[in-house]
A = this chain, B = another copy of it.
Amino acid sequence: MPKKHKNKAPASDARAADSAVQKNVSLKDVAAAVKLSPTTVSVVLNYSPLADSIPQETKDRIIEAARNLNYRPNYIARSLRNQRTHTIGVLIPEMSEGYSAAVLSGVEEKLLQEGYFYFVASHHHRPDLIERNTQFLVARCVEGILAIDTPIHQQSFLPIVSISGHDHVKGVTNIVLNHEAAAQLAIAHLHALGHRKVAIIKGQDFSSDTEVRSNTILEAARQSGVEIRDNWITQLIGDDPSPETGYLATRRLLSNETDFTAVLAFNDISAIGAIRALRESGLSVPDDVSVIGFDDITAAEFHNPALTTIRQPLKKMGSLGAEYLLLNIHKNPADTLSVEITVEPDLIVRQSTSAVTK
């Protein structure tokens, strides 16, 4: 008898009957239950000002029915309508490292607080994967992108915040360490212990911190009268995120003249590899050679010897990154936001450094 099968009352009745497997209760179902229109129900459940004229009694009826039916608004439908997904995309080199995990924990904490979720995609330092993953994330309608230790070259119509990124792209907010202060802390510590001849392990070229870190260290060394001879400089090779790369770099270092008294590693992971190499060649850490790391990952404190290191506030950098990304997302496109946020390093003195004796 109905011209077009628009309502399917019998079907929904049937579904209401079975109790255990309740699923997709829609706004329409709630509306049908209280014999009002979906409009009214929507307006009431969203506390819209449009509901001002609806008497409290009716509101209560609607709210109770929604609760009884266990109504959960469909996020997808709502996203489509509102053009908001409350989701952001996170680009990282890889999931396995202490570094990414620490930053991510800060990101997650902040985002969940604000009702956001995030997609993670890792690219293993491959430019093609960075590009592809970015497109995937955009296709998924993320509202912004957080790039962790990941180079960003192009500007985008989406807000982007980069953590430990060093490209200065218009519109991209950077969260960076105060590298000068970090280098100063490391060199000053070694200098105070009497070290004047220091070797350094540079990061891989693909790591965004590599260049600043070695430049600031060389500069700080020059100013303090600490010598870093050219063949005391070695570099991590390959994208293995384990201490292996630091171990190999240090072996290369040791095959040259070895009259340095300290090694300043690119990060804690490579410092741990360096310690292994030094011990293997019969040198004691810290008695013969001091080693200083970077980051202060969880493993650093309990390594043997416990690692002296320059701490980066990784978790905080994550939450700051998330915070600024959300600000960028919500801000009026007209007004601009601070483009570089600097966080401060700390010197954490443990057992891998000691005074020069010889």
Contacts and interface: CB of A to CB of B under 8 A. Distances in A.
A224 interface: no
Contact of A140 (B100, B117, B141, B276): B117
A28 to B, nearest CB: 15
Interface in A50-90: 72-77, 79-80, 85
Contact of A276 (B77, B85, B247, B304): B304
Given A72-B139, A117-B119, A21 B242 contact: no
Given A105-B94, A117-B119, A120-B118, A243 B112 contact: no
Nearest to A84: B76
Among A75, A95, A243, residue most surrounded by chain B Cβ atoms (within 10 Å): A95
Nearest to A106: B95
A77 B140 CA distance: 11
Interface stretch (A178-186, A208-216, A295-303): A295-303
Given A76-B85, A101-B95, A243-B302, A120 B139 contact: no
Interface string A118-143: 11111000000000000010111100
A35 interface: no
Nearest to A98: B98
Given A96-B105, A117-B140, A247-B302, 6 more contacts: A75-B141, A117-B119, A120-B120, A244-B302, A276-B302, A303-B303
8 pairs of A and B residues whose beta carbons are closest in the complex: A95-B105, A243-B302, A117-B119, A304-B304, A299-B299, A101-B101, A76-B80, A76-B79
5 contacts: A95-B104, A96-B298, A98-B101, A118-B119, A242-B301
